[in-house]
Amino acid sequence: MRDDELVLVTGGTGFVGVHCVVQLLDAGYRVRTTLRSSSRADEVREMVRVGGADPVHLEFVEADLLHDDGWHAAAAGARYVLHVASPFPVRQPKNANELIRPAREGTLRVLGAARDAGVRRVVLTSSFAAIGYGRPDPGRPRPYTEEDWTDLSAPRLPPYTRSKTIAERAAWDFIGQVERDRGDLELAVVNPVPIFGPALGRELSTSVELLLGLLNGHVPAVPNGSTTGVDVRDVADLHVRAMTHPDAAGERFLAISGDPITFPDLAKLLRERLGPDAKRVPTRVLPDWLVRVGALVSTELRAVAPQLRRRQGASSAKAERMLGWRPRPLDEAVVASAESLVRLGLVRP
């Protein structure tokens, strides 16, 4: 056991958060995680067991991103903090502040508590949403990297995209002030693309929820767009690497696995690899014009329409070069997602 190294993970019930807890426990850390309600502690312990770890060195504290109570107790004695908790709904709210406020205020609460508790480093879970949106990119000559930022002045940015960009900007501003005050709190940021991989419980990423919709036949056809992706186990691994690597302080790390996959190819992959469990996955492709018309009234199609027949390039070369990070192939992550949904009984028989 690393008795002197306690790690706080915010949002232990979440899809990414619980995988971070599993990997930290496996590595011998003591782990504390925040819950909005302590009644979910047993649920988290069971997810940790499903993930293959022993929750004996896992503890809990109640804390909410919108309230001050609990955060200083949560950070007390911690050497590192992984701030993973942040809302990411399948359907975007009409009022962007429903996402922006908890994302920004929650990030600042966690950072303030970490600073006051003498935490060495915080790793913030941001998103590709803070990197690659808001600017036209026809014929873009290079993939997106950590040097890029989403343009907040762009019109019609989705609330989630805006919230992640604002929250990450606020985090870097906070750390800049800490440095000016001669404090020693460090920050590293992980920016994943859509996250797939095995679900350990019923808390799913938005990407895995969309897979579940395909498997249960909730849509009659798929659009002719594409998606990037990364496995949740690799995202958790990148958090742990960024937590301890001496060169990670002050850096962003984009997490992506290989090339994008088109939605028709994704549907085909599910049908081929899951057999009868994927019999409801659609075989038809939505005409582009129908996607564009539907985007006028559907927030889901509005997010897909700009990606029609376009492959969005991004690079995780920095994480691979600096931290030795090696992500799984995207098809492996997608299939692991689907198989876990079947095991959990979420796919209709």
Where in the sequence numbering do the catalytic residues fall?
164
More confident residue, 220 or 317: 317
pLDDT of residue 156: 78
Strands 226-227 and 261-262: antiparallel
SS3 226: strand
State the amino acid at position 39 in one-letter form. S
Name the DSSP letter for residue 291.
Answer: H
User: What would the pLDDT profile of 219-266 be if each residue is shown by its tens digit?
Assistant: 888 888 888 999 999 999 999 999 999 999 999 999 999 888 989 999
More confident residue, 326 or 305: 326
DSSP 37-84: -GGGHHHHHHHHHHTT--GGGEEEEE--TT--TTHHHHHTT-SEEEE-
pLDDT of residue 285: 87
Helices 330-343 and 263-274 pack at an angle, to 10 degrees, of 50
Residue 50 pLDDT class (50, 70, 90 cuts) = very high
- pTM of structure: 0.92
pLDDT of residue 299: 54
Residue 59 pLDDT class (50, 70, 90 cuts) = very high
173 is a domain residue: yes
Where is 23: in which H helix or E strand? Answer: helix 15-26
283 is a domain residue: no
User: What would the pLDDT profile of 14-34 be if each residue is shown by its tens digit?
Assistant: 999 999 999 999 999 999 999
349 is a domain residue: no
Token output for 301? 């199609």
Report the alpha-carbon distance of residue 34 to residue 347 in Å, rounded.
29
Domain count, the chain: 1
83-87, 94-98, 295-299: lowest mean pLDDT where?
A: 295-299
Range of the domain at 17: 2-199+230-257+312-327
pLDDT of residue 90: 47
Residue 300 pLDDT class (50, 70, 90 cuts) = low
CATH code of the domain in which 106 resides: 3.40.50.720
- The helices-and-strands tally (H runs, E runs) of the chain is 12, 13
306 is a domain residue: no
Report the alpha-carbon distance of residue 253 to residue 255 in Å, rounded.
6
51 is a domain residue: yes
| Four-point Cα dihedral 152, 154, 155, 161, nearest 10 | -50
- Specify the length of the chain in residues: 349
91 is a domain residue: yes
Give every CB contact of residue 30 below 8 A, 6+ residues apart in sequence.
Answer: 1, 2, 3, 5, 6, 7, 57, 59
User: What would the pLDDT profile of 63-75 be if each residue is shown by its tens digit?
Assistant: 999 899 999 999 9
